[in-house]
Every structure is written in structure tokens, then in C-alpha cells.
Amino acid sequence: DVKVTQSSRYLVKRTGEKVFLECVQDMDHENMFWYRQDPGLGLRLIYFSYDVKMKEKGDIPEGYSVSREKKERFSLILESASTNQTSMYLCASSLIGRMGTEAFFGQGTRLTVV
Amino acid sequence: GESVGLHLPTLSVQEGDNSIINCAYSNSASDYFIWYKQESGKGPQFIIDIRSNMDKRQGQRVTVLLNKTVKHLSLQIAATQPGDSAVYFCAEITHYTSYGKLTFGQGTILTVHP
């Protein structure tokens, strides 16, 4: 079974803190994604990566950065957390290139910024 | 901008009935679609996919229909069960060269009453 693991289920951080969300996948997938999920807005893409050290901005990259130093690990960084970044964060991975490649999701990290 | 969206945000059905969840998309270049199911407290889980060169695909108790003329996608669930209660998302893959970037709709909440 494909496994995408996010390091925390729940996090509470203070405004202004630097926050790291970690994601690890065990299927040797090239693509990895970070989404945030908010009620009524569905899943919105923050960043994605198609290879080690490669990254592309998604639809809402402002206030976030990412790191992909190893193929299996994709980190989302909130440089200075703000209350409007309170959300559910979902990591996903998929194989590169071929049509019909589904993405596999982690269980999510619910981040609260106070 | 391009978007993938759902007509109905909520759907309530009786156990044993058939369910139909709809999705409209606006990107005429979309070439691949996926339906995901998300249960409470979990990440989205793949249900079924369809390529743009198809108009119907069947799985176990589920059928996806694609109408490219009106840019409409639907998910049919036969003999709906309480375990089918979840949020259902349609997603579109946009291929940038060889990357698979998922764009999600807002989601439909399906509630199955025993």
C-alpha cells in the first residue's frame, strides 16, 4: 500500500512562529504536493514538486515556502505564521508524467495559529 | 480563471438508493478527471478516474460519466450504503509537460440515512 505520512495530526502555533509541516511518502513518487483545505473552498494547491530540489508555485503560495531535499520528503514552511493560515493541510504524492496517475494523500495536519 | 466546481454542496439519500454527484469544469483542455472520497478526519481517497477520450467508466458500485460537450462530470453510486457518507471531490489533472497538477472542486457532502 502507498503510504503518505504527515508528521503531526494537530498543531497549535503562535502568530509569528516559524512552522514546519513534514510529509514522507514510501512509494518513490516523483511528484509531491501541499494543499490546504478550508470549508467551502475545497482543496487549494500551495506548492508542488516534481523532483528533488525542484518546486513550483500552486494557486496560493503567499506566506509559504517548501523544501524537497530528498525524494521521499516534502516540507511545507510557514515563515511567520498568521491566524489566516489556520487550516487543514494535506500532503499528496503521485507518479510523474503518465496520464491516469492518481495522487495519494496523507491524513492531514490541522494547524491552529493563535 | 479556470476552475472545477460542483453543482450541489449537499446530498441526502436513503440507504439502498442510487446517488448522483455532479461536477462542472471550465477548462476545455482538461484531459483527466478523478473522483475522491474524504471521510471525516481522513485525507481524500481515490474512487475512480476517467480520461477525456472516454465518456463512461465503471467500477465497483460506482460509475463516472463525462460529457465534454457541456463540460460536466458525474459520479453515480449504486445501492448507496451508510459507509458511503463522506465528502466527494472531483479533481482535474492539468498536465504541465510531464507534471500532474490536481485542481479540486469544492466538494459535495453525501449523507446516507439508514
Among the listed ranges A66-70, B5-9, B53-57, which one has the minimum average pLDDT value? Answer: B5-9
B74, pLDDT greater than 60: yes
Q: B37: Cβ–Cβ under 8 A, 6 or more apart, which residues?
A: B44, B45, B47, B84, B86, B87, B88, B89
Find the closest chain B residue to A101 by CA distance: B100
Give the pairing of strands A10-13 and A109-113: parallel
Give contacts of A99 with chain B, Cβ < 8 Å. 31-32, 51, 93, 95
Confidence of residue A35 (pLDDT cuts 50, 70, 90): very high
pLDDT of the residue at A26: 94
Going from the C-alpha of B57 to that of each of A50, B34, B54, B66, the distances in angstroms are: 29, 11, 7, 9
Among the listed ranges B6-15, B40-49, B76-85, which one has the minimum average pLDDT value? Answer: B6-15
Q: A1: Cβ–Cβ under 8 A, 6 or more apart, which residues?
A: none
A50 touches chain B (CB under 8 A): yes
Report the pLDDT averaged over residues B79-107.
Answer: 81
Among the listed ranges A29-38, B1-10, B27-36, which one has the minimum average pLDDT value? Answer: B1-10
Query: If we measure between CA atoms, which residue out of A5, A8, A62, A57 comes closest to residue A29?
Result: A5
A46 touches chain B (CB under 8 A): no
A2, pLDDT greater than 90: no
Please, what is the Cα angle at B58 between B53 and B62, to 5 degrees?
125
Interatomic CA distance for residues B36 and B78, integer angstroms = 16
A108 touches chain B (CB under 8 A): yes
Confidence of residue B7 (pLDDT cuts 50, 70, 90): very low
Q: B100: Cβ–Cβ under 8 A, 6 or more apart, which residues?
A: A31, A94, A95, A96, A97, A101, A103, B93
Give contacts of B105 with chain A, Cβ < 8 Å. 42
Give contacts of A41 with chain B, Cβ < 8 Å. 106
Report the pLDDT averaged over residues B21-48.
Answer: 89
